[in-house]
Structures are given as structure tokens and as C-alpha cells.
Amino acid sequence: MSDDEAWRSGGSPEARAAAVSDIQELMRRKEEIEAQIKANYDVLEGQKGVGMDEPLVDCEGYPRADVDLYQVRTARHNIVCLQNDHKALMKQVEEALHQLHAHDKEKQARDLAEAHREALSRRPGQDESQGPLQAFARVNSISAGSPASFAGLQVDDEIMEFGSVNAQNFQSLQNVSSVVQHSQGRPLNVTVIRRGERQQLRLVPTRWAGKGLLGCNIVPLQR
């Protein structure tokens, strides 16, 4: 299965890691090319600072005797070729980053849609045989653009289930933190009470521009 097929079938962590590794390799090659371009410019600077456009003949039309013409011409040729390689490589980097971000957004959208489908499929009275669940924590802040925001969490949501954590086994927020750390990149089922109604969400702990893996603050409820 190709990386692209793997992404479409669920965006496995292995496929994403391979894509990130490819981008890192492209960036390594970019740095190598930039170093080579600088080295060739240094050659030109050492030849009386002739640069890329300085004439290589004197005022009488004879080849200049104060510079190494072969070195200058070779360095200029190398710079032109390397700059073309650099331009092509930067296009590859841009396309790879765009594809990676697009796949991430698609996966988040799929997770959210699946969570919404699960919520709509629930019926009143479901799980009554297991006894009513109680909330054990509350969301008191959410950062825009965070995984929590993408999952649909809202301020004042009361959390009944967070992965494997519920009111029966909850002891401290360290329980939630442990589940988050062990579920990075994988969807967690989160059940909340919002304005008196139960909501089922799918939250994927993920590295993002802000702090932590969720981008929200959770406080325990006083029992």
C-alpha cells in the first residue's frame, strides 16, 4: 500500500511519520545545496570579487590576467545549476508540506464526522443497564485552532467519559493526562454533558501550534 493509500484508509501514524521523514530529507538536501551555492560565491569573491556579472575581459577586449578565468566560469556555471536545483527542491518541499497539512485536516474532519454519526445514532435509554454515568470534570477554556476545538469541545462541557477514564475510576487529572500521553495521534471517545444533553465526541491528541496535545483546560468537579 502506498503512503497516499494509507492516508486515505485512515492516515496511519506510520504513513504520517514516513511523510515527515521525506520532508526532513528534502530540507537536508536544501541545506546542502545552499552550502554549495555559498562555497561557489566564495570562489568568486576570492577572484577580485568578480561576482556573476563582472566582465572577464579588459578594456581592450583581452581576457583578464588578474583572475583565474577557469575558476570563475566554473563557479558561475555551478551557481546557475545549483540555483535551478534549489528552486525545484523548494517546490517539492512546498508540495510535501501542503499534502501533509491537507491529510491532517482530512483526518480530523473524518474523526469529527464519525463522532457526530455516533452521537446521532445514540438512542435515549442506551446504556441504562450499566447505570447512569456521572460527570467528573469540566472544560473551562479552549484555545482556537486546537485539537480540542477541532473535536467540538466547548467551554462548560462536563466530562463523563474521557477514553478509559470515567467517574468510577477518576482520581485526579493525572488520569486524564496519562490517557492523553498514551493516545497521541489516536482518536479518543469523549462523552460530555452539554446544556443537559449527552454529546459523544472524537478527540485526537496532537501536537499543534500551542501548548500540550489538547489545547484546553480541564478542572475536576467538586463531588
Q: How many CA atoms lie within 13 A of 204 on its CB side?
A: 23
Cα(205)–Cα(177) distance, integer angstroms: 10
How many residues does the structure list for the chain?
A: 223
Q: How many CA atoms lie within 13 A of 98 on its CB side?
A: 6
- Where is average pLDDT lowest: 9-18, 35-44, 61-70? 9-18
Mean pLDDT of the chain: 84
The whole-number average pLDDT for the span 81-104 is 88
Tell the residue number behind the cell numbers 570579487, with chain if given.
Answer: 49
**Domain spans in the chain, listed from the N-terminal domain onward:** 14-121, 137-220
- Asked if residue 119 has pLDDT above 70, the reply is no
Distance of CA 69 to the CA centre of its chain: 48
Q: Give tens-digit pLDDT for 148-191.
A: 999 999 999 999 999 999 988 999 999 999 999 998 889 999 99
Q: Assign 127 a pLDDT band (cuts: 50, 70, 90).
A: very low
Q: Assign 11 a pLDDT band (cuts: 50, 70, 90).
A: low
The strand pairing partners of 194, in sequence order, are 197
* pLDDT score, position 48: 87
Is the pTM higher than 0.85? The answer reads no
- Asked if residue 128 has pLDDT above 90, the reply is no
Amino acid identity, residue 126?
A: Q
- Asked if residue 37 has pLDDT above 90, the reply is yes
Distance of CA 175 to the CA centre of its chain: 26
Q: 54 Cβ partners below 8 Å, 6+ apart?
A: 48
Q: 29 Cβ partners below 8 Å, 6+ apart?
A: 89
Q: Which fold has domain 137-220?
A: Pdz3 Domain (2.30.42)
Residue 148 DSSP symbol: H
- Asked if residue 86 has pLDDT above 90, the reply is yes
Burial of 64 (0-12, 13-18, 19+ CB in 10 A): middle
* pLDDT score, position 8: 45
Q: Which residue has the higher pLDDT, 7 or 115?
A: 115
